[in-house]
Structure formats: C-alpha cells, structure tokens
C-alpha cells in the first residue's frame, strides 16, 4: 500500500475539544504546523511551535474572519499531485506541500436550533473549512483529511501506530467521511434556506435513514429515509415495517383533517379507511368506528385525535391490530396496551403533513403538491331543486373527507358522522358504489337518509340511480362530466339533493 509520511499540517477548527493530544503527537513527530485565528492561539498556549497562515499567504485574516485560508498558497499545497509537473509549480510559486488538514466546521445546525437570528445563522455557514476538507479529500492519494472532531481519536491512533505514516485505505476512508460531512452540512444549509417552502418536505435527507426488515414483501429490501422521532414517540412494539409506514402515513393524513374536531377514531387497512366516526367521547368514537367493518379492522392501523383513556384501551385491547397512534395515553391505558409487546404504540407530536409529495417511477421521480384542499360548507354548490339540510351538509362534508383518502375509484357512505361503508380502488365507480352498499348490508346498516360522496365526477347517471334505490338522499361530487345534466335530472326527478365542489380528489 502507498504509505505517506505527514510532514506538514494545517489545523483550523471551531471546537478544540479533543484536539490537544493530536497536536502534541504531531509535535512529537516533528510535523510543521500551520494554523488560523483561535486555533493558532490554542496551540501556542500549549507551548507548541505553530505558524500563522498569514505568514504563508502574506495576507491577514480579513472581512471579520470570513477570508483566512482562501488563497492559492493554501489550496495549491493541498491540491497538488505529488508528481513532477505539479511539484515544479509549487516550487516556482513558493507554495509548501500540505500533507494534513484538520478541520471542525462552524456549528451551523446547532446555531439554527439555538436562535432565529438570521445574521447569527449566516455567519455560521463555514466557507473556508468546507473548502479545505473538500480539497484535501479530493487529493486523498497524497493528503490526509480529518474532517471533524469525531475523527480525532481514530486519527491519533493512526499517528501512534504508524509513527506519522498513513496508508491509502485510511486516507480514502477519511476522504469518504469528509464528503459525507460536506454533503450533510450543505443539506442542512439548504433546508434552512428553503424552510417554509415546498422543499421543506425533503428535509428527510439521505443522511437520516433506517434500514427496514424488508419492503412490501419479504424478498424486497427497503430503507426509510427520514426521522420518525420528529413526528412520534415510539412507546412500544416491534420494529416498524415498510407496510406499517405506508399505513401510518395514510392514517396521519386522514386524521389531520380531524385534528381540531370532536373525538374521532379511524381504522385503516392497506391505506384505506374501513371505519371512521366522530362522537362525544373517544370510547364512543372507537366503538362506532369499529362497528363500520370489524372484519377489516383485524390487523389494521388505528388512529385518534384524543388521549386514550383506560376504558377505551380496554375495548381496543380486545382487537388484534398492528399500530395505534394517539396524541397521548393515560398511564393506566398505556400500561394495559403495553402488555402485548409486539403491538406498535405511537404518541404523535403533531398532526401535520408535508405540502409536497415525491414518488419514484420509470427512470425518474415525480413531485406534486399534496392535496390539502378540504371543502367547507361555503364551497358547496347546490345543483338540484332539493337542497340538503344542515344535518345532510354535515354528513356530506364528512363523507367528502373520507372519500378524499380512499384509493380511486372511491365511494364513501356516511350517516351521523360515521363512515357506514366505502368502496375503493375499483376500476369503475359503479363497482365502488355496489361494493360499499354490499358492505353496509353485511354489517346491518340502513343507508336510508345517508350521504354519499364520490371523489370524481359521475360519467353517467347510474351511480345516483343505484344510490337512490338504496335510500341515499344526498350526494356530493366534484362535477365536471359532459353528462352532469343526466345525473342532475335524475336527482331532480327523484327528490335527491346533490351538491358539487368543483374539486376532484383522485388518489392513486
């Protein structure tokens, strides 16, 4: 292996913690040390010979310290290949070879966490340090880079074990760490600059990731890029799987619609809600949501917008489920729920969703704005002679939220703030409606007087015909079909109220 002896070093660090033993070892090895500012003073106080970078560059530190090392005599010494042509240029311009760079960058992320003062944050964007470690890392065949204080101990071990020599694989590994630090640092700066913009959704950078047991199926590998600790306290259970994460995402998106509502519970299976209900207490909301489809609830993901009390926990405990998400848990409730060690209990910190979505497909990635539109009463446009009552409007809006979170084609049937039944992911809207009505009948629900929502327009009047026959008297849909009039005419002839929103909510 290509060994290199360290003869000269440039040290410019923010944190001096752990630096002293490294400097003393370099001094023992008779390494010529250059340094800057506070680092220079620190080394001088140790009684170790050190040369100020200014004596090398013939320029003082200027612009309040913004420019210290950005000079050809520094970067020439770092970037020169140790071969005849480059060494001749170093000699011609009186540039010394620099064999080692030790840098610890300004604490940008720590500053962002500690203050909102923009000037203070900007001044902690390191320019010289990041340039030094990138230059040294690029020239790793001849130059050693120590890119942060986290590497001091390992580097000191290398120095002692090899008497000041380094091997190629050691230099290359340190270069790899340098570029990882550089990439993470730039990403943190990018996230701060784009905070509040659509790119905030991409804060879950490649530097925060967690390997999963497998993907959708055991033969597929998977990794989650993001930091779940920002959203949840994981209180109990096995490792969260790929499918868990997909369902959790769908659950949080749905419950975000009800974050300020009365006690609401939702049960999801394979990203689709099979039960949603709002009631005066969280216990009633749970029982009502479960009654919508107790079969599909088995092995599902549960989510609510209120603290789980003991009485509710006792009822939930009767069901096998994968994940339970809530803003909080009574101590007694948590003790009971934790008796089953594999079930995942998540305490959600805030019901919020990203405003931008990304999805990989073909040979690229598509980005879109998240569907954050939620219709309110003033958004509804009555298009029939009969207008919905106040109670029907409440159920229509509730159904519209539910269907927005069902895979297309989707139908939601709601009565008294309960999702009675749904049909989703069908190749025709008629199939979705028939499926919903069959499920309602299976679990003993009378849909007479219920509200029906469709996430997209009716291309034909067949859906309103089937709905009317079942007893549904109020319908909400976006409208926009060239045959809207056919559906409206049928409703007018049969006493059905229909409102349009003008907003489609496809979910693929």
- Residue spans of the domains in the chain: they are 4-193, 233-348, 377-500
Phi, psi of 155 (to 5 degrees): -65, -40
From CA 99, how far away is CA 3, in angstroms rounded?
A: 12
Question: Cα 448 to the chain's mean position, in Å?
Answer: 42
* % of the chain beyond a pLDDT of 70: 95
pLDDT at 415 over 90: yes
pTM over 0.95: no
> How many CA within 13 A on the CB side of residue 261?
24
pLDDT in tens, 77-104: 787 888 888 878 777 877 788 889 999 8
Q: What is the pLDDT of residue 198?
A: 43
Residue carrying the six token digits 């890119």: 147
Higher pLDDT, 357 or 297: 297
* Contact status, residue 372 vs residue 388, Cβ threshold 8 Å: no
How far CA 150 is from CA of 10, 131, 449, 502, in Å, comes to 18, 19, 67, 56
> Per-residue pLDDT for 216 more than 60?
yes
- pLDDT band with cut points at 50, 70 and 90 for residue 118: confident
Mean pLDDT over 145-150 rounds to 90
CA 23 – CA 231 distance, rounded (Å): 42
Question: Predicted confidence band at 225 (pLDDT cuts at 50, 70, 90)?
Answer: confident
Q: What does each C-alpha distance from 171 to 2, 13, 23, 178, 486 come to in angstroms?
A: 10, 19, 19, 10, 74
Predicted local confidence at residue 65, as pLDDT: 64
pLDDT at 202: 46
Within this chain, domains 233-348 and 377-500 share the same CATH topology:
yes
In the predicted structure, residue 124 carries a pLDDT above the cut 50: yes
Euclidean distance between CA atoms 344 and 244, whole angstroms = 9
Q: What is the pLDDT of residues 257-267, one digit of tens each?
A: 999 999 999 99
Provide, rounded to the nearest whole percent, the portion of the chain with pLDDT above 90. 56
Distance CA 420, CA 413 (A): 6
Asked if 16 and 9 touch (Cβ cutoff 8 Å), the reply is no
**Does residue 360 sit in helix, strand or coil?**
strand
For residue 447, pLDDT over 60 is answered with yes
**Mean pLDDT, range 122-127, rounded to an integer:** 83
| Structure tokens that stand for 194 in this block | 């784009």
What's the fold here for domain 377-500? Cytidine Deaminase; domain 2 (3.40.140)
CA distances from 110 to 105, 107, 121 (A): 11, 5, 9
Q: Which residue, 175, 405, 96, 154, is CA-closest to 268?
A: 405
* Model pLDDT, residue 201: 44
Structure tokens at 380: 């509804």
CA distance 491 to 388: 12
Average pLDDT value for the chain: 90
What residues act catalytically? 138, 270
pLDDT tens track for 9-65:
889 888 888 899 999 998 999 889 988 888 888 998 999 998 888 777 666 777 766
Phi and psi torsions of 255, nearest 5°: -70, -20
Least confident of 51-60, 210-219, 345-354, 447-456: 51-60
Transcribe 29-62 into DSSP letters: TT-EEEE-HHHHHHHHHTT---EEHHHHHS---B
3-state secondary structure of 212: coil
Q: How far is CA 220 from CA 184, 227, 358, in A?
A: 28, 22, 20
4-193 to CATH, choices 3.40.50.720, 3.60.150.10, 2.30.110.10, 3.40.50.1380 = 3.40.50.1380
**What is residue 195's predicted lDDT score, i.e. its pLDDT?**
64
Query: Tell me, which fold does domain 233-348 have in CATH?
Result: Cytidine Deaminase; domain 2 (3.40.140)
pLDDT in tens, 149-190: 888 888 898 888 888 888 888 888 999 998 888 888 888 888
Cβ(271)–Cβ(253) below 8 Å: no
The beta strand positions in 279-407, using DSSP E, are: 301-304, 323-326, 344-348, 356-361, 364-369, 381-382
Structure-token pair, residue 249:
């995402």
- For the stretch 314-371, pLDDT in tens is 999 999 999 999 999 999 999 999 999 999 999 999 998 888 888 888 988 888 889 9
Query: Quick one: which H or E segment has residue 453?
Result: strand 451-454
Q: How far is it, in rounded angstroms, from Cα 380 to Cα 190?
A: 41
């Amino acid at each position: 292996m290509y060994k290199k002896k360290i003869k000269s070093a440039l040290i410019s660090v923010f944190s001096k913690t752990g630096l002293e033993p490294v400097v003393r070892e370099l001094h023992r090895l008779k390494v010529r040390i250059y340094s800057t500012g506070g680092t220079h003073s620190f080394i001088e106080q140790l009684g170790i010979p050190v040369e100020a970078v200014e004596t090398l560059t013939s320029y003082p530190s200027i612009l309040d310290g913004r420019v210290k090392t950005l000079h050809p005599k520094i970067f020439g010494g770092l970037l020169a290949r140790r071969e005849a042509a480059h060494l001749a240029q170093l000699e011609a311009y009186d540039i010394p070879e620099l064999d080692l760079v030790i840098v610890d960058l300004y604490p940008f992320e720590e500053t962002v966490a500690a203050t909102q003062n923009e000037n203070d944050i900007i001044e902690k964007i390191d320019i010289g340090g990041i340039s030094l470690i990138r230059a040294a890392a690029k020239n790793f065949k001849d130059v050693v880079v120590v890119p942060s204080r986290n590497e001091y101990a390992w580097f000191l071990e290398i120095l002692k074990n090899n008497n000041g020599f380094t091997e190629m694989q050691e230099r290359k590994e340190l270069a790899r760490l340098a570029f990882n630090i550089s990439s993470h640092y730039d990403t943190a700066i990018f996230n701060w600059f784009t905070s509040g913009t659509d790119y905030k959704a991409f804060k879950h950078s490649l530097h925060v990731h967690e390997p999963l047991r497998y993907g959708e199926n055991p033969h597929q590998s998977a990794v989650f890029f993001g930091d779940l600790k920002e959203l949840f306290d994981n209180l109990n259970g096995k490792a969260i799987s790929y499918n868990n994460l997909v369902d959790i995402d769908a659950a949080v998106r749905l419950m975000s619609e009800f974050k300020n509502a009365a006690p609401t519970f939702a049960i999801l299976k394979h990203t689709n809600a099979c039960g949603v209900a709002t009631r005066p207490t969280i216990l009633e909301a749970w029982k009502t949501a479960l009654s919508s489809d107790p079969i599909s609830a088995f092995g599902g993901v549960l989510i609510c917008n209120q603290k789980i009390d003991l009485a509710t926990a006792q009822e939930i405990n009767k069901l096998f489920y994968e994940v339970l998400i809530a803003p909080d848990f009574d101590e007694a409730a948590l003790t009971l729920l934790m008796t089953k060690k594999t079930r995942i209990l998540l305490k959600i910190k805030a019901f919020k969703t990203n405003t931008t979505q990304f999805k990989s497909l073909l040979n690229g990635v598509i980005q879109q704005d998240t569907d954050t539109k939620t219709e309110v009463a003033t958004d509804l446009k009555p298009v029939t002679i009969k207008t919905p009552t106040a109670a029907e409007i409440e159920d229509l809006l509730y159904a519209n939220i539910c269907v927005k979170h069902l895979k297309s084609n989707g139908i939601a049937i709601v009565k008294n703030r309960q999702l009675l039944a749904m049909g989703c992911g069908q190749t025709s809207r008629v199939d979705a409606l028939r499926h919903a009505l069959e499920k309602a009948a299976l679990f003993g629900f009378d849909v007479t007087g219920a509200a029906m929502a469709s996430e997209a327009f009716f291309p034909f009047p067949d859906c309103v015909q089937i709905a009317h026959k079942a007893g549904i008297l109020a319908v909400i849909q976006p409208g926009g079909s060239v045959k809207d009039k056919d559906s409206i005419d049928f409703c007018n002839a049969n006493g059905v109220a229909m409102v349009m929103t003008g907003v489609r909510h496809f979910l693929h």
